[in-house]
Amino acid sequence: MTEKQDDTRVAATSGEKTPKTARGRRTLRQLLDAAAEEFGEKGFHEASISQITQRAGVAIGSFYTYFDSKEEVFTALVRDVSAQVRDFVAPRISAQANQLDAEREGQQAFLEFARLHKEIYRIVDEAEFVDPATYREHYTSTARRIAARLDAAYERGEISEGSSEIRAWALMGMNVFLGLRFGVWGDDYTPEEVARVGGELIARGMDPARS
Amino acid sequence: MTEKQDDTRVAATSGEKTPKTARGRRTLRQLLDAAAEEFGEKGFHEASISQITQRAGVAIGSFYTYFDSKEEVFTALVRDVSAQVRDFVAPRISAQANQLDAEREGQQAFLEFARLHKEIYRIVDEAEFVDPATYREHYTSTARRIAARLDAAYERGEISEGSSEIRAWALMGMNVFLGLRFGVWGDDYTPEEVARVGGELIARGMDPARS
Amino acid sequence: MTEKQDDTRVAATSGEKTPKTARGRRTLRQLLDAAAEEFGEKGFHEASISQITQRAGVAIGSFYTYFDSKEEVFTALVRDVSAQVRDFVAPRISAQANQLDAEREGQQAFLEFARLHKEIYRIVDEAEFVDPATYREHYTSTARRIAARLDAAYERGEISEGSSEIRAWALMGMNVFLGLRFGVWGDDYTPEEVARVGGELIARGMDPARS
Amino acid sequence: MTEKQDDTRVAATSGEKTPKTARGRRTLRQLLDAAAEEFGEKGFHEASISQITQRAGVAIGSFYTYFDSKEEVFTALVRDVSAQVRDFVAPRISAQANQLDAEREGQQAFLEFARLHKEIYRIVDEAEFVDPATYREHYTSTARRIAARLDAAYERGEISEGSSEIRAWALMGMNVFLGLRFGVWGDDYTPEEVARVGGELIARGMDPARS
DNA sequence: CATGAATGAGAGTTCATTCAT
DNA sequence: TATGAATGAACTCTCATTCAT
């Protein structure tokens, strides 16, 4: 699931026009990759269409063969990145027997992903300003998946009782900030170590009476 | 935003030129207030200097009597907001006898602040793109304060052992996302309820064996 | 527009390349019809080749198999429309015994034509900017035909003496504006009524001593 | 009334922003004059804002200090030109004792104006495509003024009975086409001669029995 | 003959910043 | 200090036309 989704899938989830020839499909992929680089390095507003097309090695006009606007590629990219994180982390989570271990493993996987793709924060976070709907959708759907896991785990008796929605947002917030600090900004701890501390926290908390 | 800090403080924490006359101080105040509104409503890039000066009721040129650039007001504003959150939350935390209660109370206070000032996310988050140094500074110093509290609490035997830095970022992430979801985006839970669930999580985790 | 002229005639009056196969003739026909619609609805500058080809149900490239440029189809169309007006009005004029009646009948016929083809003004008038030569040719040849009729009528003693060229332009101007106002913009008078007033004007003028 | 209306009037009838300083008023006038030249020579679509500002000797940005768009200057210009024609022709008409003489004099005045300002056709006619509302307004209000004159003349017994609205459009059409052919396109007849033939036509028509 | 992706010059427009008044 | 007109670099986007398939 780590591998990039094929062109068909990309086209299905985004708004760009579907190419009818092989050459067209190649150009579209080049543009998407170039856009990821450009937005990742410079952010939405500093990025320019002309730079994207230069990176992709095509003419400016070709950009508009596939996208209607700068905003549209950006949205396509956010969805792409969002799907990539999910596809990277999900299998690592499901591989675990116990949900508490699974969440810890998920943290670690996310942190590793952040180290590999330091641009995700620039891209996803900027959606808050460029395309709020997609931004909200990204976090809301992520939280929904976490909550569903917690509900199931509770049914199986693996975790204590408590609002799964609130817990989901708390867990997601932890992940995001641990990923930012220890994945993107610094590597003064290994993903294992960070996840060990984080996992311990969500499993047993900080109350000394419980350890 | 709520109670405006006095001019002296503003001048101390930001880069704008200190006015020498009473008239100048009034103009500066008007500009800062107008900027807060404008950036809060539209975000950095959609906001315009000319709108800020119109809101403030002064001429465009006057803006540059007090600030060197659009970025500068924005930075001043981020610092301002950052200080406000801290000043709002800090006393609520220190009022608690036990650190675990204190953190839960901090969560609740932050959530309440977010409900009162829904624009803080727009302002602080956008700093990631407009003024990364100030953005990093905001979160780094906040995390440092949390870590210091955890260290002291550990010394007092109020919490278990564990990397205070990692824990600090985890706690901060929880706060931020709970504030976004339950403070800014929706009010389907009371701050007390959210903080109760969050507080329970960081105190005792989700392991059913420990509750 | 109404009855389409046969392919031979189109090829004769315009600059487009003559197709050699039946399939080619069909494509050309589709393109011309689509162009008439598109230019009529949107005008030259708002019209687009890609829309024309979409309406015609052919690929963009096929357009250039038959026309050298956007201007060329437009010119072809103007000539087409020009010929249609002439062919619609001419028989109505020649059917009259007296030239004064004939001119009144011509006015009415033109007005009726304008009601049926409200797009003629958009097409012919825009030629003033897109293809001035054809625009001038349209009006100059129309005026020439009117002048010839007046000359002949004068010879037959049906009208008084006076510069036939100046009179021709005056009559044509009347027709065009009556057609615009009472044919295209409004239908608050019947063509008969408009032509009755207009015919009376050119026959006997407005001097009360003469009526 | 031939003289250009003062800046205040221009500002009142159009949509551009009113300058607050003398320098601003001068710049606005330069832009309007430059726009008249540019649009007159090239037509709306071939004209460019950057050429207008170059002609005016100001920076591109200054254009947008006074107009919101290319369309807006154009509309301002059409209204300006429309007012100029009216102000040039009106006094010549009112100076006549008899309405039939007045209309002939009006024709002549219009033709003279067209010779002096050959660009009016390019500007007014192109409004049909760029700003249809203003185009229609120009002709409708002109026709209304003519009809009012005819009504009054009929009351005074100077002209025969007949729909003043239809007659007004007929007269206007004559004027416009005589102006185009003998004012702008050619000068093979003097304005007096054209107006004599035209005036005779509307006074007594072409019926030989009546001359 | 048909296709449709690729091209790129060139347009209109924005707005932070400057500076003469 | 205050004003607001002037500046112009830089951007996004259009679309007629070409040409390899």
Q: Are residues B35 and B49 in the same domain?
A: yes
Residues of the domain holding D151: 73-205
Q: Is the model's pLDDT at C128 over the cut of 80?
A: yes
pLDDT tens digits along C105-119: 999 999 999 999 999
Q: Measured between CA atoms, how close is B13 to chain A, in angstroms?
A: 25
Q: Are residues C82 and C171 in the same domain?
A: yes
Rounded Cα distance between B145 and A189, Å, is: 20
Rounded Cα distance between C205 and D113, Å, is: 25
Report the candidate in A159, A156, A180, A157 with the shortest Cα–Cα distance to residue A168.
A159
- Burial group, residue D106, by CB count within 10 angstroms (0-12, 13-18, 19+): buried
Chains C, D: CB pairs < 8 Å: 165
- Cβ atoms of D95 and D105 closer than 8 Å: yes
User: Using the beta-carbon criterion (under 8 Å), do D206 and C173 form an inter-chain contact?
Assistant: no
Rounded Cα distance between A193 and C25, Å, is: 75
Q: Are residues C130 and C179 in the same domain?
A: yes
pLDDT of residue D210: 60
Q: Are residues A127 and A33 in the same domain?
A: no
The CATH number given to whatever domain includes residue D132 is 1.10.357.10
Structural Rg of chain C based on CA atoms: 19
Rounded Cα distance between B209 and D43, Å, is: 83
Residues of B in contact with A122 (CB under 8 A): 128-129
Rounded Cα distance between D53 and D49, Å, is: 6
Residues 63-82 of D with CB under 7 A from strand F: 64-66
Q: Measured between CA atoms, how close is D20 to chain C, in angstroms?
A: 37
Q: Report the distance from CA of residue B28 to the C1' of nucleotide E7 in Å, as an integer.
A: 52
Q: Tell whether B11 is covered by a domain.
A: yes
Can you give D83-100 as a three-state secondary structure string? HHHHHHHHHHHHCCCCHH
Please state, as a whole number, how many other Cβ atoms lie within 10 Å of the Cβ of residue B37: 17
Q: Are residues C121 and C22 in the same domain?
A: no
Q: Tell whether B61 is covered by a domain.
A: yes
What one-letter code names the amino acid at B75? T
Tracing tokens 């709108």 back to the chain, one arrives at B51
Q: Tell whether C21 is covered by a domain.
A: yes
Q: Tell whether D2 is covered by a domain.
A: no
Please count the structural domains in chain B.
2
Q: Is the model's pLDDT at A119 over the cut of 50?
A: yes
- Mean pLDDT check: name the lowest of B33-37, C2-6, C196-200: C2-6
Segment A4-15 mean pLDDT: 42
Q: Are residues B11 and B57 in the same domain?
A: yes
Q: Mean pLDDT of successive 10-residue segments in chain D (211 residues)?
A: 36 63 89 94 94 95 95 94 95 95 98 95 93 96 98 97 98 98 97 98 91 54
> What does the block give as tokens for D178?
């005589």
Q: Measured between CA atoms, how close is C184 to chain D, in angstroms?
A: 12
Q: Report the distance from CA of residue D54 to the C1' of nucleotide E9 in Å, as an integer.
A: 20
Q: Are residues D37 and D126 in the same domain?
A: no
- Burial group, residue C20, by CB count within 10 angstroms (0-12, 13-18, 19+): exposed
Q: Phi-psi category of A113—alpha, beta or left, where left has phi over 0 and alpha has psi -120 to 50?
A: alpha
Q: Tell whether A18 is covered by a domain.
A: yes
Q: Is the model's pLDDT at C193 over the cut of 70?
A: yes
Q: Measured between CA atoms, how close is C210 to chain D, in angstroms?
A: 7
Segment A63-84 mean pLDDT: 94
Q: Are residues D65 and D80 in the same domain?
A: no
Q: Are residues D60 and D119 in the same domain?
A: no
Give CA separation, C3 vs C107, C135, C145, in Å: 21, 23, 23
Q: Tell whether C210 is covered by a domain.
A: no
Q: Of A47, A68, A89, which closes a domain?
A: A68
User: Using the beta-carbon criterion (under 8 Å), do D163 and C197 form an inter-chain contact?
Assistant: yes
Q: Of B50, B72, B94, which closes a domain?
A: B72
What one-letter code names the amino acid at A34? A
Please state, as a whole number, how many other Cβ atoms lie within 10 Å of the Cβ of residue B161: 10
Torsion of CA B121, B127, B128, B132, to 10 degrees: -150
Rounded Cα distance between B73 and C160, Å, is: 83
Measure CA A199 to chain center: 20
Q: Are residues B117 and B130 in the same domain?
A: yes
Q: Tell whether D210 is covered by a domain.
A: no
> In sequence order, what are the residues at sequence separation of 6 or more whose Cβ sits closer than 8 angstroms to the Cβ of residue A140?
none
Closest residue in A to B200 (Cα–Cα): A205
pLDDT of residue B15: 63
Report the candidate in C138, C147, C93 with the shortest Cα–Cα distance to residue D180.
C138
> What does the block give as tokens for A91?
């299998």
Tell me, yes or no, if C158 comes closer than 8 A to chain D by beta carbon: yes
* Residue with CA nearest to F3's C1' atom: B59
* Bases of chain F within 7 A of a CB of the protein: 1-20
Residues of D in contact with C205 (CB under 8 A): 200-205, 210
Residues of D in contact with C168 (CB under 8 A): none
Q: Report the distance from CA of residue D53 to the C1' of nucleotide F8 in Å, as an integer.
A: 12
Whether C141 CB is under 7 Å from strand F: no
What one-letter code names the amino acid at B106? G
User: Using the beta-carbon criterion (under 8 Å), do C160 and D203 form an inter-chain contact?
Assistant: no
Rounded Cα distance between C151 and C145, Å, is: 10
Q: Of C55, C70, C85, which closes a domain?
A: C70
pLDDT of residue A13: 45
User: Using the beta-carbon criterion (under 8 Å), do D169 and C181 form an inter-chain contact?
Assistant: yes
Report residue C48: phi and psi, to 5°.
-135, 145
Task: Provide the residue-wise pLDDT of chain B in tens; the chain has 211 residues.
Answer: 333 444 434 433 456 677 888 888 899 999 999 999 999 999 999 999 999 999 999 999 999 999 999 999 999 999 999 999 999 999 999 999 999 999 999 999 999 999 999 999 999 999 999 999 999 999 999 999 999 999 999 999 999 999 999 999 999 999 999 999 999 999 999 999 999 999 999 999 999 986 5
Q: Are residues A136 and A83 in the same domain?
A: yes
- Is the Cα dihedral D35, D40, D45, D46 positive or negative? negative
B22 or C3, higher pLDDT: B22
Chains B and D, touching by 3 or more CB pairs within 8 angstroms? no
What one-letter code names the amino acid at B49? I
% of chain C exceeding 90 in pLDDT: 83
Identify the H or E element spanning B49: helix B49-56
Rounded Cα distance between B171 and D147, Å, is: 82
Please state, as a whole number, how many other Cβ atoms lie within 10 Å of the Cβ of residue D41: 13
- Cβ atoms of B169 and B82 closer than 8 Å: no
pLDDT of residue D89: 97
User: Using the beta-carbon criterion (under 8 Å), do B170 and A178 form an inter-chain contact?
Assistant: yes
Tracing tokens 């976070």 back to the chain, one arrives at A125
pLDDT of residue D39: 95
The CATH number given to whatever domain includes residue A47 is 1.10.10.60
> In sequence order, what are the residues at sequence separation of 6 or more whose Cβ sits closer than 8 angstroms to the Cβ of residue A48?
A38
pLDDT of residue C91: 97
Q: Which partners does chain C have (≥3 C-beta pairs < 8 Å)?
A: D
Q: Are residues D120 and D195 in the same domain?
A: yes
Rounded Cα distance between D181 and D184, Å, is: 6
- Is the Cα dihedral B196, B201, B202, B205 positive or negative? positive
Rounded Cα distance between A185 and A188, Å, is: 9
Q: Tell whether C209 is covered by a domain.
A: no
